[in-house]
Amino acid sequence: MKTCKLALIGFGNVGQGFAQILRDQQETISALGLNCLIVAVSDLHKGSIYQPQGFSPADLLQAVKEGSSLENLPAQARGWSAEETIRQSGADVLVELSYTDLQTGEPATGHVRLALQEGMHVITTNKGPVALHYPALQALAQQKGLKLGIEGTVMSGTPSMQLGGELLAGAGVFKIQGILNGTTNYILSQMETGAPYAEALAGAQQKGYAEADPTGDVEGYDAAGKVVILANVLMGASLTLSQIQREGITRLTPADIQSAQAAGERWKLIASLEKTPAGEILASVRPTRLPQAHPLASVGGATNAITFSTALLGDVTLIGPGAGRLATGYAILSDLLAIYRA
Protein backbone atom coordinates (compact mmCIF):
# COMPACT_ATOMS: atom_id res chain seq x y z
CA MET A 1 0.00 0.00 0.00
CA LYS A 2 1.38 3.41 -0.99
CA THR A 3 0.53 6.36 1.25
CA CYS A 4 0.07 9.62 -0.53
CA LYS A 5 -0.05 12.92 1.36
CA LEU A 6 -2.14 15.57 -0.36
CA ALA A 7 -2.40 19.33 0.08
CA LEU A 8 -5.51 20.90 -1.44
CA ILE A 9 -5.55 24.53 -2.55
CA GLY A 10 -9.23 25.39 -2.91
CA PHE A 11 -12.10 23.49 -1.34
CA GLY A 12 -15.05 24.41 -3.54
CA ASN A 13 -17.17 22.09 -5.65
CA VAL A 14 -14.28 20.03 -7.02
CA GLY A 15 -12.38 19.71 -3.74
CA GLN A 16 -15.56 18.65 -1.98
CA GLY A 17 -16.36 16.16 -4.76
CA PHE A 18 -12.91 14.64 -4.34
CA ALA A 19 -13.31 14.50 -0.53
CA GLN A 20 -16.66 12.78 -1.05
CA ILE A 21 -14.97 10.15 -3.21
CA LEU A 22 -12.26 9.58 -0.57
CA ARG A 23 -15.00 9.32 2.08
CA ASP A 24 -17.29 6.95 0.16
CA GLN A 25 -14.91 4.89 -1.99
CA GLN A 26 -12.21 4.13 0.55
CA GLU A 27 -12.42 0.37 -0.01
CA THR A 28 -12.11 0.67 -3.79
CA ILE A 29 -9.15 3.03 -3.48
CA SER A 30 -7.41 0.79 -0.90
CA ALA A 31 -7.94 -2.20 -3.17
CA LEU A 32 -6.02 -0.25 -5.83
CA GLY A 33 -3.11 0.00 -3.37
CA LEU A 34 -3.45 3.66 -2.46
CA ASN A 35 -3.93 5.31 0.91
CA CYS A 36 -4.75 9.01 0.40
CA LEU A 37 -4.25 11.41 3.29
CA ILE A 38 -5.39 15.03 3.05
CA VAL A 39 -2.80 16.72 5.27
CA ALA A 40 -3.64 20.32 4.37
CA VAL A 41 -6.48 22.36 2.92
CA SER A 42 -6.16 26.03 2.09
CA ASP A 43 -9.24 27.89 0.92
CA LEU A 44 -9.60 31.67 0.77
CA HIS A 45 -13.13 31.59 2.18
CA LYS A 46 -13.40 28.32 4.15
CA GLY A 47 -10.11 28.58 6.01
CA SER A 48 -6.71 26.88 6.05
CA ILE A 49 -5.68 23.92 8.15
CA TYR A 50 -2.76 21.50 8.45
CA GLN A 51 -2.57 18.18 10.24
CA PRO A 52 0.32 15.77 9.46
CA GLN A 53 -1.77 12.66 10.32
CA GLY A 54 -4.40 13.78 7.81
CA PHE A 55 -8.00 14.95 8.11
CA SER A 56 -11.05 12.77 7.84
CA PRO A 57 -12.75 13.73 4.53
CA ALA A 58 -16.10 13.34 6.33
CA ASP A 59 -15.09 16.00 8.90
CA LEU A 60 -14.01 18.41 6.17
CA LEU A 61 -17.32 17.94 4.34
CA GLN A 62 -19.36 18.24 7.51
CA ALA A 63 -17.70 21.54 8.41
CA VAL A 64 -18.51 22.97 4.98
CA LYS A 65 -22.08 21.67 5.14
CA GLU A 66 -22.58 23.40 8.49
CA GLY A 67 -21.11 26.62 7.11
CA SER A 68 -18.41 26.44 9.76
CA SER A 69 -14.80 27.49 9.04
CA LEU A 70 -12.44 24.58 8.45
CA GLU A 71 -10.28 26.27 11.07
CA ASN A 72 -12.71 25.04 13.77
CA LEU A 73 -11.49 21.47 13.14
CA PRO A 74 -8.68 20.06 15.30
CA ALA A 75 -5.45 20.93 13.45
CA GLN A 76 -1.75 21.43 14.12
CA ALA A 77 -1.64 24.71 12.19
CA ARG A 78 -4.23 27.16 10.92
CA GLY A 79 -4.41 30.22 8.71
CA TRP A 80 -1.59 29.31 6.32
CA SER A 81 -1.56 31.02 2.94
CA ALA A 82 -1.48 28.86 -0.19
CA GLU A 83 2.28 29.46 -0.41
CA GLU A 84 2.85 28.43 3.22
CA THR A 85 0.72 25.33 2.63
CA ILE A 86 2.85 24.34 -0.36
CA ARG A 87 6.17 25.00 1.40
CA GLN A 88 5.33 23.63 4.84
CA SER A 89 2.79 20.82 4.51
CA GLY A 90 5.29 18.14 3.44
CA ALA A 91 2.68 16.81 1.00
CA ASP A 92 3.67 14.51 -1.87
CA VAL A 93 1.07 15.95 -4.22
CA LEU A 94 -0.37 19.43 -4.55
CA VAL A 95 -3.99 19.36 -5.72
CA GLU A 96 -4.55 22.84 -7.20
CA LEU A 97 -8.25 23.72 -7.31
CA SER A 98 -8.37 27.48 -6.98
CA TYR A 99 -10.70 29.38 -9.33
CA THR A 100 -9.91 29.44 -13.05
CA ASP A 101 -8.65 32.73 -14.48
CA LEU A 102 -8.11 32.38 -18.22
CA GLN A 103 -6.62 35.90 -18.53
CA THR A 104 -3.63 35.54 -16.20
CA GLY A 105 -3.75 31.94 -15.01
CA GLU A 106 -3.09 33.28 -11.51
CA PRO A 107 -2.89 32.59 -8.66
CA ALA A 108 -3.00 28.96 -9.77
CA THR A 109 0.06 29.06 -12.04
CA GLY A 110 2.21 30.39 -9.20
CA HIS A 111 0.97 27.58 -6.95
CA VAL A 112 1.72 24.92 -9.57
CA ARG A 113 5.20 26.31 -10.28
CA LEU A 114 6.10 26.61 -6.59
CA ALA A 115 4.91 23.07 -5.83
CA LEU A 116 7.00 21.64 -8.68
CA GLN A 117 10.02 23.64 -7.51
CA GLU A 118 9.45 22.24 -4.02
CA GLY A 119 9.48 18.68 -5.41
CA MET A 120 5.75 17.89 -5.28
CA HIS A 121 3.73 16.22 -8.02
CA VAL A 122 0.83 18.42 -9.06
CA ILE A 123 -2.73 17.62 -10.07
CA THR A 124 -4.92 20.42 -11.28
CA THR A 125 -8.38 20.73 -12.77
CA ASN A 126 -7.74 24.46 -13.19
CA LYS A 127 -7.77 25.43 -16.86
CA GLY A 128 -5.85 28.72 -16.41
CA PRO A 129 -2.32 27.37 -15.86
CA VAL A 130 -2.76 24.64 -18.46
CA ALA A 131 -4.26 26.82 -21.22
CA LEU A 132 -1.70 29.58 -20.67
CA HIS A 133 1.51 27.98 -19.43
CA TYR A 134 1.46 24.22 -20.06
CA PRO A 135 4.76 23.88 -22.00
CA ALA A 136 6.81 25.68 -19.31
CA LEU A 137 5.11 23.88 -16.42
CA GLN A 138 5.46 20.48 -18.07
CA ALA A 139 9.15 21.18 -18.80
CA LEU A 140 9.69 22.06 -15.12
CA ALA A 141 7.89 18.88 -14.01
CA GLN A 142 10.02 16.78 -16.35
CA GLN A 143 13.23 18.43 -15.24
CA LYS A 144 12.32 17.61 -11.63
CA GLY A 145 11.17 14.06 -12.42
CA LEU A 146 7.62 14.92 -11.33
CA LYS A 147 4.15 14.47 -12.81
CA LEU A 148 1.67 17.17 -13.74
CA GLY A 149 -1.83 15.66 -13.85
CA ILE A 150 -4.35 17.64 -15.93
CA GLU A 151 -7.08 15.11 -16.76
CA GLY A 152 -9.83 17.20 -15.16
CA THR A 153 -9.18 20.29 -17.29
CA VAL A 154 -11.17 18.87 -20.23
CA MET A 155 -14.40 16.84 -19.81
CA SER A 156 -13.91 16.51 -16.03
CA GLY A 157 -13.24 12.87 -15.08
CA THR A 158 -14.10 11.49 -18.52
CA PRO A 159 -10.62 10.45 -19.67
CA SER A 160 -10.28 12.65 -22.75
CA MET A 161 -6.68 13.72 -22.10
CA GLN A 162 -5.51 10.20 -21.39
CA LEU A 163 -7.31 8.93 -24.49
CA GLY A 164 -5.95 11.68 -26.75
CA GLY A 165 -2.51 11.98 -25.16
CA GLU A 166 -1.63 8.36 -24.58
CA LEU A 167 -3.91 5.85 -26.23
CA LEU A 168 -4.23 7.80 -29.51
CA ALA A 169 -0.72 9.31 -29.45
CA GLY A 170 0.41 7.24 -32.44
CA ALA A 171 -2.86 7.32 -34.36
CA GLY A 172 -2.26 10.66 -36.12
CA VAL A 173 -4.95 12.90 -34.64
CA PHE A 174 -5.62 15.69 -37.15
CA LYS A 175 -9.01 16.95 -36.01
CA ILE A 176 -10.89 17.19 -32.70
CA GLN A 177 -14.52 18.21 -32.42
CA GLY A 178 -17.01 18.10 -29.63
CA ILE A 179 -19.17 19.52 -26.90
CA LEU A 180 -16.74 20.62 -24.20
CA ASN A 181 -18.77 22.78 -21.84
CA GLY A 182 -21.28 21.17 -19.49
CA THR A 183 -22.96 24.38 -18.34
CA THR A 184 -23.98 25.57 -21.80
CA ASN A 185 -25.06 22.10 -22.91
CA TYR A 186 -27.20 21.85 -19.77
CA ILE A 187 -28.68 25.32 -20.38
CA LEU A 188 -29.51 24.52 -24.02
CA SER A 189 -31.12 21.21 -23.01
CA GLN A 190 -33.19 22.94 -20.31
CA MET A 191 -34.28 25.69 -22.70
CA GLU A 192 -35.51 23.01 -25.11
CA THR A 193 -37.94 21.94 -22.39
CA GLY A 194 -39.18 25.51 -22.07
CA ALA A 195 -37.08 26.69 -19.11
CA PRO A 196 -36.06 30.36 -19.23
CA TYR A 197 -32.33 31.05 -19.72
CA ALA A 198 -31.83 32.54 -16.22
CA GLU A 199 -33.47 29.58 -14.54
CA ALA A 200 -31.40 27.10 -16.56
CA LEU A 201 -28.19 28.96 -15.68
CA ALA A 202 -29.14 29.01 -11.98
CA GLY A 203 -29.68 25.23 -12.19
CA ALA A 204 -26.21 24.75 -13.71
CA GLN A 205 -24.70 26.83 -10.91
CA GLN A 206 -26.61 24.96 -8.23
CA LYS A 207 -25.45 21.61 -9.63
CA GLY A 208 -21.82 22.76 -9.54
CA TYR A 209 -21.30 22.78 -13.32
CA ALA A 210 -20.64 26.50 -13.83
CA GLU A 211 -17.42 28.38 -13.24
CA ALA A 212 -17.22 30.79 -10.26
CA ASP A 213 -17.99 33.48 -12.87
CA PRO A 214 -20.36 31.79 -15.35
CA THR A 215 -19.57 34.40 -18.04
CA GLY A 216 -16.65 32.13 -18.90
CA ASP A 217 -19.10 29.33 -19.69
CA VAL A 218 -21.88 31.14 -21.51
CA GLU A 219 -19.60 33.34 -23.64
CA GLY A 220 -17.58 30.32 -24.76
CA TYR A 221 -14.29 31.18 -23.02
CA ASP A 222 -14.28 27.93 -21.03
CA ALA A 223 -14.72 25.81 -24.16
CA ALA A 224 -12.13 27.95 -25.97
CA GLY A 225 -9.68 27.37 -23.09
CA LYS A 226 -10.24 23.63 -23.50
CA VAL A 227 -9.60 23.90 -27.25
CA VAL A 228 -6.28 25.62 -26.45
CA ILE A 229 -5.43 22.83 -23.99
CA LEU A 230 -6.24 20.12 -26.54
CA ALA A 231 -4.24 21.88 -29.25
CA ASN A 232 -1.19 22.58 -27.12
CA VAL A 233 -1.07 19.37 -25.09
CA LEU A 234 -2.16 16.86 -27.73
CA MET A 235 -1.14 18.47 -31.03
CA GLY A 236 2.05 20.25 -29.97
CA ALA A 237 0.61 23.63 -31.04
CA SER A 238 1.17 26.92 -29.26
CA LEU A 239 -2.25 28.52 -29.57
CA THR A 240 -3.48 31.31 -27.36
CA LEU A 241 -7.10 32.08 -26.44
CA SER A 242 -7.19 35.08 -28.77
CA GLN A 243 -6.56 32.79 -31.75
CA ILE A 244 -9.79 30.87 -31.19
CA GLN A 245 -12.82 32.16 -33.09
CA ARG A 246 -15.30 32.27 -30.24
CA GLU A 247 -19.00 32.87 -29.81
CA GLY A 248 -21.05 31.82 -26.79
CA ILE A 249 -24.73 30.99 -26.38
CA THR A 250 -25.98 34.31 -24.98
CA ARG A 251 -27.31 35.52 -28.33
CA LEU A 252 -29.53 32.45 -28.77
CA THR A 253 -33.14 33.28 -27.96
CA PRO A 254 -35.95 30.89 -26.92
CA ALA A 255 -37.36 31.51 -30.42
CA ASP A 256 -34.10 30.30 -32.01
CA ILE A 257 -34.25 27.14 -29.92
CA GLN A 258 -37.89 26.52 -30.79
CA SER A 259 -37.44 27.10 -34.51
CA ALA A 260 -34.54 24.60 -34.57
CA GLN A 261 -36.72 22.08 -32.73
CA ALA A 262 -39.57 22.63 -35.18
CA ALA A 263 -37.16 21.83 -38.01
CA GLY A 264 -35.95 18.65 -36.25
CA GLU A 265 -32.64 20.29 -35.24
CA ARG A 266 -30.78 21.27 -32.08
CA TRP A 267 -28.41 24.07 -31.11
CA LYS A 268 -25.14 22.88 -29.60
CA LEU A 269 -22.00 24.81 -28.63
CA ILE A 270 -19.48 23.05 -30.84
CA ALA A 271 -15.73 23.27 -30.27
CA SER A 272 -13.56 22.41 -33.20
CA LEU A 273 -9.85 22.09 -33.85
CA GLU A 274 -8.24 21.04 -37.10
CA LYS A 275 -4.69 20.75 -38.36
CA THR A 276 -4.56 21.58 -42.05
CA PRO A 277 -2.14 19.67 -44.32
CA ALA A 278 -0.01 22.85 -44.31
CA GLY A 279 0.30 22.53 -40.52
CA GLU A 280 -1.97 25.47 -39.74
CA ILE A 281 -4.37 25.02 -36.81
CA LEU A 282 -7.97 26.20 -37.25
CA ALA A 283 -9.87 26.49 -33.99
CA SER A 284 -13.33 27.71 -33.08
CA VAL A 285 -16.15 27.58 -30.55
CA ARG A 286 -19.56 28.51 -31.85
CA PRO A 287 -23.26 27.63 -31.53
CA THR A 288 -24.15 25.27 -34.33
CA ARG A 289 -27.52 23.93 -35.46
CA LEU A 290 -27.29 20.16 -35.86
CA PRO A 291 -29.83 17.77 -37.38
CA GLN A 292 -31.20 15.46 -34.69
CA ALA A 293 -29.60 12.49 -36.44
CA HIS A 294 -26.11 14.02 -35.93
CA PRO A 295 -24.17 11.98 -33.31
CA LEU A 296 -23.59 15.07 -31.13
CA ALA A 297 -27.24 16.19 -31.22
CA SER A 298 -28.31 13.60 -28.67
CA VAL A 299 -25.63 14.56 -26.13
CA GLY A 300 -27.76 16.37 -23.54
CA GLY A 301 -27.47 17.96 -20.10
CA ALA A 302 -23.97 18.36 -18.65
CA THR A 303 -22.71 15.46 -20.73
CA ASN A 304 -19.82 16.22 -23.09
CA ALA A 305 -18.50 14.44 -26.15
CA ILE A 306 -15.27 14.50 -28.09
CA THR A 307 -14.46 13.00 -31.47
CA PHE A 308 -10.81 12.49 -32.41
CA SER A 309 -10.37 12.14 -36.18
CA THR A 310 -7.25 10.09 -36.74
CA ALA A 311 -5.25 8.90 -39.73
CA LEU A 312 -5.07 5.28 -38.57
CA LEU A 313 -8.41 4.61 -36.85
CA GLY A 314 -10.79 7.07 -38.43
CA ASP A 315 -13.09 8.69 -35.87
CA VAL A 316 -12.95 7.75 -32.20
CA THR A 317 -15.65 9.27 -29.97
CA LEU A 318 -15.82 9.49 -26.19
CA ILE A 319 -19.00 10.59 -24.40
CA GLY A 320 -19.24 11.26 -20.68
CA PRO A 321 -19.76 13.81 -17.91
CA GLY A 322 -18.18 17.17 -18.64
CA ALA A 323 -18.71 18.94 -15.34
CA GLY A 324 -19.89 18.40 -11.78
CA ARG A 325 -18.47 17.83 -8.33
CA LEU A 326 -18.04 14.06 -8.37
CA ALA A 327 -17.18 13.82 -12.07
CA THR A 328 -14.38 16.36 -11.66
CA GLY A 329 -13.36 14.94 -8.29
CA TYR A 330 -12.85 11.64 -10.08
CA ALA A 331 -10.34 13.28 -12.45
CA ILE A 332 -8.12 13.92 -9.42
CA LEU A 333 -8.32 10.29 -8.36
CA SER A 334 -7.52 9.09 -11.88
CA ASP A 335 -4.45 11.38 -12.06
CA LEU A 336 -3.37 10.16 -8.60
CA LEU A 337 -3.64 6.53 -9.68
CA ALA A 338 -1.62 7.32 -12.81
CA ILE A 339 1.11 8.98 -10.73
CA TYR A 340 1.32 6.13 -8.28
CA ARG A 341 1.21 3.43 -10.95
CA ALA A 342 4.14 5.14 -12.66
Nearer to ligand HSE, 156 or 177 (CB): 156
Contact between 190 and ligand HSE (CB under 6 A)? Answer: no
Question: Stretches 128-136, 206-214, 239-247, 288-296: which one binds ligand HSE (CB under 6 A)?
Answer: 206-214
DSSP 3-state of 231: helix
Contact between 222 and ligand HSE (CB under 6 A)? Answer: yes
Contact between 96 and ligand HSE (CB under 6 A)? Answer: no
Question: Stretches 105-113, 178-186, 312-320, 329-337: which one binds ligand HSE (CB under 6 A)?
Answer: 178-186
- State the nearest-atom distance from the C-beta of 332 to ligand HSE, in Å: 13
Nearer to ligand HSE, 61 or 187 (CB): 187
SS (H, E, C) 169-236: CCCCEEEEEEECCHHHHHHHHHHHCCCCHHHHHHHHHHCCCCCCCCHHHHCCHHHHHHHHHHHHHHCC
Give the containing element (helix H, strand E) for 167. none
Pick from 43, 96, 211, 219 the residue near ligand HSE by CB under 6 A: 211
Chain-centroid distance of CA 263 in Å reads 34
Nearer to ligand HSE, 14 or 73 (CB): 14
Chain-centroid distance of CA 272 in Å reads 18
- State the nearest-atom distance from the C-beta of 243 to ligand HSE, in Å: 20
CA-closest candidate to residue 87, choices 43, 53, 40? 40
Nearer to ligand HSE, 120 or 180 (CB): 180
Nearer to ligand HSE, 181 or 307 (CB): 181
Q: Pairing mode, if any, of strands 303-310 and 245-246?
A: unpaired
- Is residue 183 within 8 A of residue 100, CB to CB? The reply is no
- State the nearest-atom distance from the C-beta of 181 to ligand HSE, in Å: 4
Contact between 217 and ligand HSE (CB under 6 A)? Answer: yes
- Is residue 288 within 8 A of residue 158, CB to CB? The reply is no
Amino acid at residue number 183 = T
Query: Distance between CA 155 and CA 74 in Å, rounded?
Result: 36
Active site (catalytic) residues: 226
Pick from 183, 284, 303, 334 the residue near ligand HSE by CB under 6 A: 183
Nearer to ligand HSE, 57 or 248 (CB): 248
Contact between 210 and ligand HSE (CB under 6 A)? Answer: yes
DSSP 3-state of 332: helix
Q: How many CA atoms lie within 13 A of 325 on its CB side?
A: 16
- State the nearest-atom distance from the C-beta of 142 to ligand HSE, in Å: 25
Touching ligand HSE, residues 305-334 (CB under 6 A): 322-323
Contact between 10 and ligand HSE (CB under 6 A)? Answer: no
Contact between 182 and ligand HSE (CB under 6 A)? Answer: yes
Query: Distance between CA 259 and CA 274 in Å, rounded?
Result: 30
**317: CB partners within 8 A, 6+ apart:** 295, 305, 306, 307, 308
Interface with ligand HSE (CB under 6 A): 156, 181-183, 209-211, 217, 222, 322-323
